[in-house]
Amino acid sequence: MDVPSTRRGVLKSAAALLAAWTGGSVFAAKSEAQTTGNLEKKAYPAAPPAPGGAQHLLFSPAVSYGNLLFLSGVGAHFKGTIEEHTQHVLDELKKTLEGAGSSFHKVLKVSVFLNDIKDYDAMNKVYGGADWGPMPPVRTTVSPAGGVPGGSLVEIDVIAYI
């Protein structure tokens, strides 16, 4: 048996083994779902107005695909503390989740973007007060080099299920 020497070769070999082991059914099921339209991409248009009052047309506030729900990043576009911004962002996320038929209990992944990493502890105090349910979501927290757009001290996006 030849041993693949590249990552691509390893992946091709693994795919071939999986196809042989399952009779190709794993790949057939994926193809069928894509071609028969069993999964539907759905946007939730009830977005809060963008800064300045105009409706933002560059992205959807929430999109589902099957039972997965993806929420755009939410920031706080007013003067305030990191605690006030974090609370506002969590409140807006909660409204959007519930409007789409989900909740904090159904959040799988959270991404937090801090304008200043020094705000990590203060943001965490507010974040920790949210009712994430018995199993909190996984989370990534970063501070982008260019800061958070729109003057927000924090921006948060989530992936949940419906």
CA angle 111, 116, 119 (to 5 degrees): 80
Predicted pLDDT at 6 = 57
CA atoms of 133 and 138, how far apart (whole Å) = 13
Task: Specify the domain boundaries for CATH 3.30.1330.40 within the chain.
Answer: 41-161
pLDDT at 46: 52
Name the class of domain 41-161: alpha beta
pLDDT along the chain (162 residues), means of 10: 52 48 41 47 60 61 92 95 98 94 97 98 97 96 93 97 95
Distance CA 58, CA 90 (A): 22
pLDDT score at 134:
94
Q: What is the pLDDT of residue 58?
A: 75
